[in-house]
Chain A
Amino acid sequence: MIPWLLAAGQAVLVMLVAPLLIGLMRAVRARLEGRAGGRVLQPWRELRKQLRKEPLIPADAGAFFTAAPAVLVATSVLVAAVAPFLSTRGPLSGVADLVVVVGLLLLGAVALALAGLDTGTAFGGMGASREMIIAALVEPTLLLAVFALSTRVGSTDLGAIVAAGATRPAEVFTPASALAAAALALATLAEAGRLPVDNPATHLELTMVHEAMVLEYAGRDLALVEWAAAMRLTILLGLLANLFIPWGVATDPHPGALAVAAGVFVVKLAALGCLVAAGEVFLAKLRLFRVPELLAGSFVLGLLAVVASSVLA
């Protein structure tokens, strides 16, 4: 019973924190660029405003368009509930392993790409095809980078990997895990649609990737899609933080330890978010044709991490 409550609490925490993380990143970026920028709470205000408006559905849209926001939110909430963010012992440990988490994230991405195609607009189709190119290159990298860590533990269960890191921190700092961290960081940026792969603040349809797929959404549906996108970023950054900085994660379901774990998790997320936002100030978006080079590079890093962790060590 307690693990299920814990999973529900973790999902609620991620749902609450995700828009704040986006707000924080926008605020940091605005401050570094010398603009006033919005408040940290601004994304929450926008979500509340849009959630109260009725969704408008284009005349030619089919089932995929209506279903995509629900699928996207459902997969994100499920991953947020089972991933080892607060405690390494979830209700579904053993089932909720790496392959399932990556599969669920991919399912959400595919649902949104189908929705982009479903409306039949030129920009939606363009965004969907670009998203699929990026997803096809990113998912293997995500898998490989975490495989490099799982060879050390002997299990692809994310909870077991984080638990091993939390109990034996010396093993986290090896050349193999440095390579894996670099690969996973690049894959995270690409998967979450941040610079240099995609510009989340763009208003130019020709360069959009994620934004192009959601151009037709309005009202409640738009709010759900934006919320899910924020949750995906939070999930990926949270995994990156807990896999490579595994301190503060509770290894037993004690209330005090869980409260500390929640605090540490939020601090780690905020720190990573600030780092990403500060990095984005100095980056320009890559040309779309150069994106495969970057992702092939991160794939090679992941592969070298696997080779290094299984052969060298």
Chain B
Amino acid sequence: MTDQLLNLACGLFLLTAVGVLWRRELAALITLLTVQGVALAGIAVLLAVDQRHAETAGVALAVGILKIAVLPYLLRRILARVPEARETAPLVNVATSLLAAAALTLLAYAAARPLIDLAPSPTAGAAPVGIAVMLIGFFLAATRRRAISQIVGVLLIDNGIAAVAFLATGGVPLLVELGVSADLLLAVLVLQVLTTRLHAAFGGTDLDDLRELHD
């Protein structure tokens, strides 16, 4: 039963990453990121229940609060401030990025095979999902123009790393997770300042406008 639920959570986790590539509306991206946070917290909770480990449960709670409540709230505040609501012209079109996501998923499964063979278990078997989400996040951050899409890409990378950490090692120490989360929060807060300044200077948040640094 736990294995089935874990598979379901991993499936949802990967599906939301593909959905982020599929949708153009920035508001939908944030909703999908929230759902992905739910799936990630679900994975952590399932592992904590499976191992009866209090520290993992604490990490799951922290991850849940950060990814389901705090980060989406901050992103929505940024979105409310800038007028553009859609990713109009990504560098790679949506159909091609979906096919690239399929290729990246296969790559993740192929690359993770030796890793799984070290300790074959259902949780380790699902670890490639995390690697796939990480690769999709890199792809998103590299090919989208809007500041919010790029930060969503960075958040996908972090979600992927967290999922691999949970699935492959059965949970990370609370201290490490706290450090990573604080970093992430800082990145989103910096983005909030950056988009406001960008919007004031250029009237948009297309990061390609930033060709050089000025005083």
Most chain-A Cβ atoms within 10 A of its Cβ — which of B7, B15, B98?
B98
Q: Which residues of B contact A295 (CB under 8 A)?
A: 95
User: What is the CA–CA distance of A174 and B3 in the complex, to the nearest angstrom?
Assistant: 11
Known pairs A308-B11, A312-B126; A297 contacts B106 (CB<8 A) = no
* CB-defined A-B contacts under 8 Å, sample of 9: A179-B15, A292-B95, A293-B95, A300-B99, A300-B101, A303-B102, A304-B15, A307-B106, A308-B11
Q: Which residues of A contact B105 (CB under 8 A)?
A: 303-304, 307
Determine whether B109 belongs to the interface, using a CB cutoff of 8 Å to chain A. yes
Determine whether A296 belongs to the interface, using a CB cutoff of 8 Å to chain B. yes
Q: Which residues of B contact A293 (CB under 8 A)?
A: 22, 93-95, 98
Nearest A residue to B128 via CB reads A311
Q: Which residues of B contact A311 (CB under 8 A)?
A: 109, 125, 128
Determine whether A85 belongs to the interface, using a CB cutoff of 8 Å to chain B. no
**Residues 87-125 of chain B: 1 if any A CB is under 8 Å from the residue's CB, otherwise 0?**
000000111101101100110010000000000000001
Determine whether B28 belongs to the interface, using a CB cutoff of 8 Å to chain A. no
Nearest A residue to B8 via CB reads A175
Nearest B residue to A308 via CB reads B11
**Residues 49-93 of chain B: 1 if any A CB is under 8 Å from the residue's CB, otherwise 0?**
000000000000000000000000000000000000000000001
Contact call B98/A296, Cβ cutoff below 8 A: yes
Nearest A residue to B116 via CB reads A311
Which chain A residues numbered 254 to 313 have a C-beta less than 8 Å away from chain B?
A: 292-293, 295-297, 299-301, 303-304, 307-308, 311-313
Q: Which residues of A contact B128 (CB under 8 A)?
A: 311
Contact call B7/A308, Cβ cutoff below 8 A: yes
User: What is the CA–CA distance of A312 and B5 in the complex, to the nearest angstrom?
Assistant: 12
User: What is the CA–CA distance of A176 and B102 in the complex, to the nearest angstrom?
Assistant: 15
Q: Which residues of B contact A304 (CB under 8 A)?
A: 11, 14-15, 18, 102, 105
Q: Which residues of A contact B11 (CB under 8 A)?
A: 175-176, 178-179, 304, 308, 312
Q: Which residues of B contact A300 (CB under 8 A)?
A: 18, 98-99, 101-102
The 4 A-B residue pairs whose C-beta atoms are closest, nearest first, are A175-B11, A296-B95, A296-B98, A292-B95
Known pairs A175-B7, A179-B11; A312 contacts B99 (CB<8 A) = no
Contact call A299/B22, Cβ cutoff below 8 A: no
Determine whether B32 belongs to the interface, using a CB cutoff of 8 Å to chain A. no
Q: Which residues of B contact A292 (CB under 8 A)?
A: 95
Q: Which residues of B contact A307 (CB under 8 A)?
A: 105-106, 109
Which chain B residues numbered 1 to 58 have a C-beta less than 8 Å away from chain A?
A: 4, 7-8, 10-11, 14-15, 18, 22
Contact call A297/B22, Cβ cutoff below 8 A: yes
Q: Which residues of A contact B14 (CB under 8 A)?
A: 304
Contact call A297/B15, Cβ cutoff below 8 A: no
Nearest A residue to B122 via CB reads A312
Q: Whole-angstrom distance from the CB of A283 to the nearest CB of chain B? A: 17
